[in-house]
Amino acid sequence: MTTALAEPVERVGRGWTAALSLANVAIWVGWYGPLQILLAQQAEDFAPGTGMSKETLLAWVTGMGAVVSLVANPFFGALSDRTTARWGRRTPWIVAGA
């Protein structure tokens, strides 16, 4: 087995886990705070041309986003688990996603 596919053997500390959790909370607040307002405003702007109410349009958009997320996240997660690059398993996917 190559080293890229080997399971990690070093445990991370509580400080690292706490910092990661705090960073994730900050990222989600930064993303979803504005999205809650902006998506509703955009749905209100686009709804008259679609023949749907703004609530129905917003429900369809967020529902389709959830379906895509349900399929894409496990798919790309499985691909990244099988990636063997000299930079590691995750780095090429992080760079591509950025």
Taking the C-alpha atoms of residue 65 and residue 71, their distance in angstroms, rounded to an integer, is: 10
Most confident of 5-9, 68-72, 89-93: 68-72
- Those residues with Cβ within 8 angstroms of residue 57's Cβ, 6 or more apart along the chain or in another chain: 43, 46, 47, 50
Query: Residue 17: what pLDDT?
Result: 95
pLDDT over 60 at 91, yes or no: yes
- Read off the pLDDT band of 94 (50, 70, 90): confident
Buried b (16+ CB within 10 A) or exposed e, 46-63: ebeeeeeebeebbeeeee
Residue 77 domain-assigned (yes or no): yes
- Read off the pLDDT band of 70 (50, 70, 90): very high
Residue 34 domain-assigned (yes or no): yes
Residue 1 domain-assigned (yes or no): no
Give the residue numbers spanning the domain of 72: 11-97
Taking the C-alpha atoms of residue 75 and residue 20, their distance in angstroms, rounded to an integer, is: 24
Give how many domains the chain has, as a whole number. Answer: 1
For tokens 């087995």, what's the residue? 1
Query: Residue 32: what pLDDT?
Result: 86
Query: Residue 5: what pLDDT?
Result: 73
